[in-house]
Structure 1
């Protein structure tokens, strides 16, 4: 095969079909003649703009003198592994296209266009063929995808690999021997908003293979691009089923398109209007680029409030309507946390906790500081007991009854406490997990040892008489159970009703008297009480 008289190379970012159309014009050939020449070596031009056949690539390099890598860079193969997954595509087998098309959001025909770019250099860009490229960041404007003359997408010529001419005109066939002569470089387009420009800029950086920030960490280009597209698909499905438009301004347009086309499958085809598509992708991008998973989940959670109600679970519905990448799975689970049963969430966020470090009830100062805001009821002791049960569940207890028994309590008490708190307060599981982490970081000591210390003191009142003489003269002997109970509740983190000072659970009168006793203690008396427990247990003398 002889080289063409006039040879050239594709410009940076120039699409292969646009370049070959100029090659044909420069050499006085019809584009159909050049296409035939490309097939002389037995190759095919079937997927020319996507992934050319190797024999076709050889023909192109021989005819034009362009290096192999420059020709490949002018095709969509340059985005394989980032914005596209072309695995399984075989130019020699037409049916292989189904494999790629089934992954969604990829079109074989058509391209977008930036009129300002075309007016400047006349080159149609390769990236304009990606459905996720909706904006020209250089000119801060939306791409145009449909010709106002013929009403079809640009470069919509399914039976020929090249247009019937070179330049900035549409050249879509409009009849047997006619083409659309609209000059795309003279069209006007809308300016893009700042947040959408930022999204497109991140997308373009990722398309070069560079890592980008996502969910508070650095993600690979493929992870970021896949998560963004699949999250956008999920938002489109949610918008199609919603009745309100308060979450995003593009929801009405999406529902209108779903209603008009009747068979919209968002996982395969994105919205037709590039402005709507850009807005959807930007909403997804804003969620993914939040400072962390928790912040992203807060942005996504309102969308899950409009999930269609059905017999299947929320998670099953979501999984049925998009592809769950690892990042999207983490985000979805975090956003669904308020809808999950607390026990389910605790099991999924379980951390090994030594049961000996868990008191029967979380100390009150720690509860006030870290967790009081989670509950809507003022039953502080019940709420503190519930937090301890939650820590036991995270530590390996499979049921609320097992959690209670792990702490030395009756199993039925654990079940009843969990039911009561879940029904009345319904704490947010995600914030509950954060509170448990903070509480666990502050709690130290062996509470089972402390319980033994107090039980030892409960067998003799000699230490009590000494403490009274030194720190509370005039205190009566009948206050002995109150002193033991104070140590049990404050020093050992025990439940009031399980104090070893009582032979049976205390009546209301005893509880009131104990609280009066506890409120009357001064700091020096409290310190001496705690020291008595530690000293007497260490010496074994009671």
Structure 2
């Protein structure tokens, strides 16, 4: 780019002024067109691109920014302050696209008013000094942000259309579909004049003959102050969302997603809104204006575009903020389920959920917990690709989850829940925790926990547990109690540093059993009364390989916290089919006594010895070693 000479005259940028607004004022002072000024100041070196300055709203390359600052006799920091990326640390939708495609083609930029703007007539009038009275006040860059819906200085809602021709101000759409600032190549127009050009030049002065100001209610004034405080990079560093502290960037992402939920679930969301103008807009569906701004043929995309009209948009933002205010995620999850009741589709297919799962916005922890508890609960095997990844990132992984929820976790979070089989409950909780960590369906979680067996009857039995638990949970006095307990347990696992790799234990013990030598020691510790009968009489004590097979299964269950039907049985597999059937029945009988706490004295003696054995073997396996079959703590 050839070296350009600085302009002979310039203007000092006004507070919160946008770059296109500055060009409008400076072009008017120099009696030239904004397009010509873009070329003379180095913003573009090709005349045919001078009519497309909308990407300049977001950011400039460092070299081009420095050149422009030198040309208009301003500091680099003053030029930087005119760009929307100054909000990027607090407002993620203002971040420049890594690909360089800044505009509505980028999903995040849909929550910027790139092709139209709001305005305050009094601010456009200026009148704070002679230069403002002559060349007008600033077109503020904050007016391009949907969360900025009012002017606190003048205590009124912002306007968005010309009162004379009723077209959106500084609207870039044309009949040909080409996007550029209106009347950008024309000179002599005042910065505050309406530049509508499709039906001929309107030319109305937006800073004069304005419609009656819509006064700002106290509730909206307080809410606007709160939002501006979050946008200020030197102000509040955190905000509470659903009982969790999060960053302003995550809050604004949550706010956008909550707005999409309210719009796409209409009219189920009617009870959460209290603005008649907003209800009328939602009843009518996405307007032609919104479709023009989004340039999308999909209603879902248009529904994600914020309303340009300030008052209904403010009402929607306030309703969305109320959804995010409770101190617990259960309240929000309850609202979410209520809104989903108006749809025939399952939660993962409802339009807002599809958009959420496809984009995976960077939401707060509380928001992700609530959405996960609703969407993943009902996940089925024929999932869209966007549900095959976890909604939230957890510190614990599937390998840290036992196949059959371990006893202390069960007693702490689920033992008080009645009306459902303990077996079904412990199976399902393990599957749900795995699903939380790895995403996907219940069937995928079962596969990840190695629960699929060659025996179809056992597989069907395992698959039935989640269905029964979900039906039971929905009929409880508190339908969210089960999901809340899962979320609380997941939070505890996230905070722990002593998680066990149960998957490694299962792999190391895949073909393992108690060897003959350790079994002799264990058998010697089981007291056999005179006559060879167990205490209580009625049956003979059997310490043969059948009992060694039972002990191997129990030991595997103690070490892996797995269910007995999933345990390897190399001793049993060497027997004939009829013997295998009888031995499996023996294992089932002992397991049932353990589960229902009706064990016999010989059972207790065996379990005590196996607990010592497990305490010896666990550290060996956790170090990544495979214990020899005859290794034991007694020799």
TM-score range, shorter chain: 0.5 to 0.7
1:246 equivalenced with 2:271 (yes/no): yes
Deviation track 1:323-350 (CA, whole Å, cap 9, x = no partner) reads 7145259946565112214998898588
Aligned 8 A contact 1:142 1:189 in 2: yes
Query: Counterparts of 1:92-241 in structure 2 under 5 Å?
Result: 104=110, 105-113=112-120, 115=122, 121=128, 123-136=137-150, 138-139=152-153, 141=155, 143-146=157-160, 149-150=163-164, 151-153=166-168, 158-159=182-183, 165=190, 179=205, 182=208, 187-191=213-217, 192=220, 194-205=222-233, 227=253, 231=257, 234-235=260-261, 237-240=263-266
Match 1:384 to one of 426, 437, 450: 426
What residue in structure 1 maps to residue 294 of structure 2? none
Secondary structure in 2 matching 1:465: coil
Match 2:78 to one of 63, 70, 83: 70
Q: Summarize the Cα distance change of 1:288–1:517 in structure 2 as closer, same or farther, 3 Å threshold.
A: closer
Deviation track 1:368-426 (CA, whole Å, cap 9, x = no partner) reads 323346x77432234335556778998999685895778xx874354233332222212
Q: Summarize the Cα distance change of 1:89–1:460 in structure 2 as closer, same or farther, 3 Å threshold.
A: closer
Within 2, Cα distance between the matches of 1:213 and 1:41?
Answer: 40
Secondary structure in 2 matching 1:189: coil
What residue in structure 1 maps to residue 617 of structure 2? none
Q: Summarize the Cα distance change of 1:489–1:276 in structure 2 as closer, same or farther, 3 Å threshold.
A: farther
Aligned 8 A contact 1:115 1:188 in 2: no
Match 1:302 to one of 337, 358, 363: 337
State the aligned residue count: 509
What residue in structure 2 maps to residue 412 of structure 1? 456
Within 1, Cα distance between the matches of 2:408 and 2:68?
Answer: 79
Deviation track 1:206-250 (CA, whole Å, cap 9, x = no partner) reads 9x9x976698686695x776x35862673365145x445134446
What residue in structure 2 maps to residue 27 of structure 1? none
Within 1, Cα distance between the matches of 2:551 and 2:524?
Answer: 17
- The two structures, once aligned, show a CA RMSD in angstroms of 6.6
Within 1, Cα distance between the matches of 2:260 and 2:434?
Answer: 36
Q: Summarize the Cα distance change of 1:273–1:110 in structure 2 as closer, same or farther, 3 Å threshold.
A: closer
Aligned 8 A contact 1:118 1:184 in 2: no
Structure 1 unaligned regions, length at least 5: 25-30
Secondary structure in 1 matching 2:271: coil
Within 1, Cα distance between the matches of 2:407 and 2:515?
Answer: 20
Within 1, Cα distance between the matches of 2:285 and 2:324?
Answer: 25
Structure 2 unaligned regions, length at least 5: 41-46, 172-180, 292-298, 474-481, 573-578, 614-629
Q: Summarize the Cα distance change of 1:509–1:539 in structure 2 as closer, same or farther, 3 Å threshold.
A: closer
What residue in structure 1 maps to residue 412 of structure 2? 369
Deviation track 1:264-296 (CA, whole Å, cap 9, x = no partner) reads 45745421321222343455567789999x779
Query: Counterparts of 1:496-515 in structure 2 under 5 Å?
Result: 503=583, 505=585
Within 2, Cα distance between the matches of 1:263 and 1:60?
Answer: 35
What residue in structure 2 maps to residue 51 of structure 1? 56
Within 2, Cα distance between the matches of 1:98 and 1:118?
Answer: 30
Within 2, Cα distance between the matches of 1:430 and 1:346?
Answer: 22
Within 2, Cα distance between the matches of 1:274 and 1:100?
Answer: 23
Aligned 8 A contact 1:170 1:180 in 2: yes
Q: Summarize the Cα distance change of 1:256–1:234 in structure 2 as closer, same or farther, 3 Å threshold.
A: same
Match 1:424 to one of 455, 465, 468: 468
Post-superposition offset of 1:253: 4.0
Secondary structure in 1 matching 2:399: coil
Within 2, Cα distance between the matches of 1:80 and 1:347?
Answer: 27
Deviation track 1:62-121 (CA, whole Å, cap 9, x = no partner) reads 6x755565356446576689544676999xxxx998868995343434432275897884
Match 1:324 to one of 335, 359, 362: 359
Match 1:353 to one of 386, 399, 404: 399
Match 1:478 to one of 532, 539, 557: 539
Within 2, Cα distance between the matches of 1:21 and 1:402?
Answer: 61
What residue in structure 2 maps to residue 39 of structure 1? 36
1:339 equivalenced with 2:372 (yes/no): no
Within 1, Cα distance between the matches of 2:345 and 2:273?
Answer: 24
Q: Summarize the Cα distance change of 1:190–1:326 in structure 2 as closer, same or farther, 3 Å threshold.
A: closer
Aligned 8 A contact 1:141 1:189 in 2: yes
What residue in structure 1 maps to residue 12 of structure 2? 9
What residue in structure 1 maps to residue 621 of structure 2? none
Structure 1 range deviating more: 267-276 or 147-156 = 147-156
Structure 1 range deviating more: 511-520 or 250-259 = 511-520
Deviation track 1:16-63 (CA, whole Å, cap 9, x = no partner) reads 676677778xxxxxx48723498379657746787399999989976x
